[in-house]
Amino acid sequence: MKKNFLSFFLVIGLFLSYAGSVFACDFCLLSQGISPLETLNGAGVRVNERYTSLDKVYNGTHKISNPGAKEEFWTTELTGFYAVTEDLMVLGVVPLKKTRMKGELMVNPDGTVDLDPMKGRESGLGDVALIGRYSFFKKHTLDTTTTIAGLLGVKFATGKTDGKADNGEYLDSHIQLGTGSTDYIIGVSLSHSVQKISLSANLLGTLTTEGEFGNKKHRFGNAVNYDVTAKYRVYPADLGSRGPQFFIALGVNGELREREKTDGVKDPNSGGNTTYLSPGIQAVVAPHWVFELSYQQAIYHNLYGIQLGENHKATGGVTYLF
Amino acid sequence: MKIAASIIAIALTLFSGSLSWGLEKRLLDAAGVQELNEEAPEFALVTEAGKRISLKDMRGKVVLLHIWATWCTPCKEEFPLFEKVYRSFKDKALVLLPVAIDKRATHEELASQAKKLGANFPVYLASEGSITERYWTWGVPVTYFIDKGGWIRGRAIGPRDWSSDGVYALIKTMIEENKTLPHRGGG
């Protein structure tokens, strides 16, 4: 087991040592400050609403002047989960998306940026995902509980990818409702609780395949989402009384993505890393309801080339446990 | 490609280690009980007749320490099932200790409510004895399986079907078990 632990932390170290990565990923299951995957047993449904905004332009780690481009994403994510056994949980995620863009960045060969004043919006079903989560390590003491779980999943190409802008051109791949590809998800999730405090760490990798958007072949870069979150029960002081429980959370999370390819050509202005600081609150009204709010403020960008970067995301979620 | 290689490395790390579970792990899983191997913190409780009993006094018996509260609806629904367990094992070296963590209830009120719930076993109040709150760190109901040597071997967080075959098999195995974990120093 010691060997497994060592490998686990080595792999985490490897990921975190990357320099580099992102894009407007709006398909982030884990990096929401408070992980929706922390529920370990039973069955339930979760609805969460996420708003993402991109209106700042980055050249690597530096912010540069934005000629007026803006992208916005509203995602309603419906998640159903069911514990098949004590250790195995299956999850289905159905995103309903609304995307909007105003002005597309045109990066010139000399590094200057112009604006194509095109506008566009799309709404409808995004890419549906199915995920299995297996807890392969659990250790409990009177005061602590530690779990390590592995995740495997598939994201299907159910979202439309032929949306057009007001000028009749196909919208950029990121504004489309889906990625047009079947992608594979693999991850690891660690949680450790000591009485009122819990610490969770998640790594979620997405291995992409080639898909299509509009009339082009397109492949998003492989990606890793990471998050480390600490949660503290502020009320009640002890669990010997009736009533809801309230938690506050603070996390660091982000996404690292490789460059994407269109018709086999790598886009130099894609991929990179965005890191967020995420405060959040959670209320548990036992035995059925969990309410969550979290906010992600981007604190570090290191984007490849010149591109719009994510600034903030706000997420609200309600979970019903059967 | 660096990311793809790292993702594959994670997969190999996760699934290369083969873990083998012992018989007891399978028993615990069947009963829906978490494995815990920890010396039970000593506690004392007071009976309805005012007699003080302690965990130490129960050495040589399997103890089912059940932490509950009168305001907890799932806890109350478990009482008829605990009654079945009590009837099945009361003469077979099993001690059932349902301890309510209510802060205001009296022992008489507690006993009366337990009777109404169909219980013929004695009930206890945490506030009358000396029992650490560590036993309800994760809320109520929570039930501990303490072996004959005073070690916690398992914990069930949340309500369970106490009349299930899995639970009965676990209790039976613990009663029949001759080997216990090392005894506490003072014992």
Domain boundaries, given as residue ranges, for chain A: 2-321
Single-letter residue type at A233 = R
List pLDDT tens digits, range B117-163.
999 999 999 999 999 989 988 788 999 999 999 999 999 988 889 99
Q: Per residue in A20-45, pLDDT tens?
A: 222 333 444 443 434 545 555 678 89
The DSSP string of B65-77 is EEEE-TT-HHHHH
Q: What is the ipTM of this complex?
A: 0.77
- pLDDT reading at B33 higher than 60: yes
Tokens representing A72 are 């916005």
Q: Which two tokens stand for residue A311?
A: 């600034």
User: A222 vs B71: CB contact, 8 Å cut-off?
Assistant: no
pLDDT tops 70 at residue A14: no
Are A36 and A29 within 8 A, CB to CB?
Answer: yes
Answer yes or no: do A142 and B41 touch at CB < 8 A: yes
pLDDT tens per residue across span A169-225? 999 888 999 999 999 999 898 889 898 898 988 888 999 999 988 888 999 999 998
First to last CA, chain A: 34
Q: Which residues of B touch A (CB under 8 A)?
A: 1-4, 6-7, 9-11, 13-17, 19, 29, 32, 34-36, 38, 41, 69, 71-72, 74, 101, 103, 126, 133-140, 152, 155
Task: In whole angstroms, give the CA distance from residue A147 to residue A28.
Answer: 22
10 Å CB burial of residue A146 (0-12, 13-18, 19+) is: middle
User: Would an 8 Å CB–CB cutoff place A142 in contact with chain B?
Assistant: yes
- Verify whether the Cβ–Cβ distance B38 to A86 is below 8 Å: no
pLDDT of residue A288: 83
Q: How confident is the model at residue B10 (pLDDT cuts 50, 70, 90)?
A: low
Answer yes or no: do A18 and B2 touch at CB < 8 A. Answer: yes
- Shortest CB distance from B137 goes to which of A1, A7, A143? A143
Give whole-number Cα distances, B166 to A89, B25, B161, B169, in Å: 21, 12, 9, 5
B14 vs A136: CB contact, 8 Å cut-off?
Answer: yes
Phi, psi of B133 (to 5 degrees): -65, -15
Q: How far off is chain A from B26, nearest CA to CA, in Å?
A: 11
Chain A contact probe: residue of B2, B8, B14 with most A CBs at under 10 A: B14
Closest residue in B to A2 (Cα–Cα): B17
The CA distance from B155 to A144, in Å, is 12
B186 or A225, higher pLDDT: A225
The answer to which of A112-116, A192-196, A302-306, B2-6 has the lowest mean pLDDT is B2-6
Q: Measured between beta carbons, which residues in chain B are less than 8 angstroms from residue A321?
A: none
Q: How many CB atoms lie within 10 A of CB B108?
A: 9
Separation between Cα atoms, residue A208 and residue A260, nearest integer Å:
10
CATH number (3.40.50.12280, 3.30.450.20, 1.10.3720.10, 2.40.160.40) of A2-321 reads 2.40.160.40
Prediction pTM value:
0.79
Size of interface A-B (CB pairs under 8 A): 94
- Among the listed ranges A77-81, A104-108, B17-21, B112-116, which one has the minimum average pLDDT value? B17-21
Q: Is the distance from CB of B33 to CB of B156 less than 8 angstroms?
A: yes
Domains plus CATH for chain B?
A: 23-176 (3.40.30.10)
Tell me which of B1, B2, B10, B43 to substitute to probe the interface with A (most A C-beta atoms closer than 10 Å).
B10
CB proximity A239 to B under 8 Å? yes
Copy the structure tokens of residue B35: 């494995």
Q: Chain B: give the shortest CA distance to residue A188, in Å.
A: 8
Confidence of residue A322 (pLDDT cuts 50, 70, 90): confident
CA distance B81 to chain A (A): 20
Q: Does A137 touch chain B (CB under 8 A)?
A: yes
Q: Which of A8, A86, A241 sits opposite B29 (nearest CB)?
A: A86
For B11, the closest of A4, A186, A238 (CB atoms) is A186
**Quick one: DSSP state of residue A166?**
T
